[in-house]
Amino acid sequence: MKELIFATHNQNKVDEIKMIFKEYGIKSLAEIDYREEIDETAQTLEGNALLKANYIFEVYKTPVFADDSGLEVEALDGAPGVYSARYAGEPKNHEKNNAKLLSALQNETNRKAQFRTVIAYITKNTQLCFEGVVTGTIATEIRGKGGFGYDPLFIPDGYTKTFGELPREVKLACSHRSNAMAKLYTHLKSLT
């Protein structure tokens, strides 16, 4: 089994990815006992994904991928976007972020949004990025306890429930991260 490091400290992401990417021995940063935070100082999702993956590659010299994801809301000109994790300030807090988003969209009828992920994959000879998107709308109140982050506010197109309410399998089948991971998976398959 090939080993691949997933450069994240977000255990929810690790759980999701391990469920759809069973063939590879994916190791999270916690599993390789890497505890340090990696500063996300870039201005774009691609920049931050490359920054996280490159940082860990330089330490371990083994194939690694990282994702940077964000919620892009049409009525807010794409915010919170690359600043999604700390939308309501430091330290990052999902409940406060959701409350701020609801307040920013009060009385707003255009509730269109998308989650976007960029995955950066780094090996000795390769540096590749894969993008994934899921479109939807922002609910008018917090709904459901599933998932993480903005999931209780995000209703994917084609559904009436939020990712927080829908079965986990639905998110795994259509999410931004799953879409980007499917592209990485296709790339890895093409090498074997």
Q: Which residues bind ligand ITT (CB under 6 A)?
A: 8-10, 13, 67-71, 84-85, 92, 94, 97, 115, 147-151, 175, 177
In the complex, minimum distance from the CB of residue 192 to ligand ITT, in angstroms, rounded to a whole number: 27
Given the residues 15, 39, 68, 77, the one annotated as active site? 68
The helix, strand and coil proportions of the chain, stated in percent and rounded to the nearest 5, come to: 35, 25, 40
- CB-nearer residue toward ligand ITT: 69 or 179: 69
* Joined tokens for residue 131: 């993008």
- CB-nearer residue toward ligand ITT: 63 or 147: 147
- CB-nearer residue toward ligand ITT: 41 or 107: 41
In the complex, minimum distance from the CB of residue 68 to ligand ITT, in angstroms, rounded to a whole number: 5
Cβ count near 50 (within 10 Å): 21
10 Å CB burial of residue 70 (0-12, 13-18, 19+) is buried
**Residue 152 near residue 162 (C-beta atoms within 8 A):** yes
68 a catalytic residue:
yes
* Residue number closest to ligand ITT, CB atom: 149
In the complex, minimum distance from the CB of residue 11 to ligand ITT, in angstroms, rounded to a whole number: 9
Q: Which stretch of DSSP H or E encloses residue 5?
A: strand 3-6
- CB-nearer residue toward ligand ITT: 13 or 143: 13
**Active-site annotation, residues:** 68
